[in-house]
Amino acid sequence: MLEEQKEPPTQGGAIRPIRSFEDCLPEIEIIIENKRKDWTFKASVMCDFDDVKSVIMVHIWRKWYLYNQDKPLGGWVATIVKHQFHNILRDSYRDNLFSINLFMDVYSHSF
């Protein structure tokens, strides 16, 4: 659900334009790339980082309307990246655990 467009934030009486996702894309990509080492450490072979990066970029795009442009972009994006890393890892472990349990159930009943 999208909320109404807010009035542009003011600073010292001047109206600051609202930055679009596309305007901030290069900065967002740099922040995500800087977090690559955290992903490699946690997941080494589970998923390709380019796939993870795509998921994160879509998530940031979908949540862009929540970004408070009075605050720095870096901290907001870094928090989203961290949470998405955890979500993707959790879902991946859950899917793998489900697959292993299903295999064990089928395998044990085959005898």
- Per the CB < 8 A criterion, the answer to whether 89 and 44 are in contact is no
- Regarding pTM above 0.85, the answer is no
End-to-end CA distance of the chain: 52
Q: Residue 101: CA atoms inside 13 Å, Cβ hemisphere, count?
A: 6
Tens place of pLDDT for every residue, the chain, 111 residues? Answer: 455 555 555 555 556 678 899 999 999 999 999 888 777 655 545 667 888 889 899 999 999 999 999 999 999 999 999 898 888 878 777 766 555 554 445 455 544
- Across 5-38, b (16+ Cβ under 10 Å) vs e yields eeeeeeeeeeeeeeeeeeebeeebeebbeebeee
Q: Whose CA is closest to 51, among 32, 66, 64?
A: 32
Q: What are phi and psi of 70, to 5 degrees?
A: -80, -15
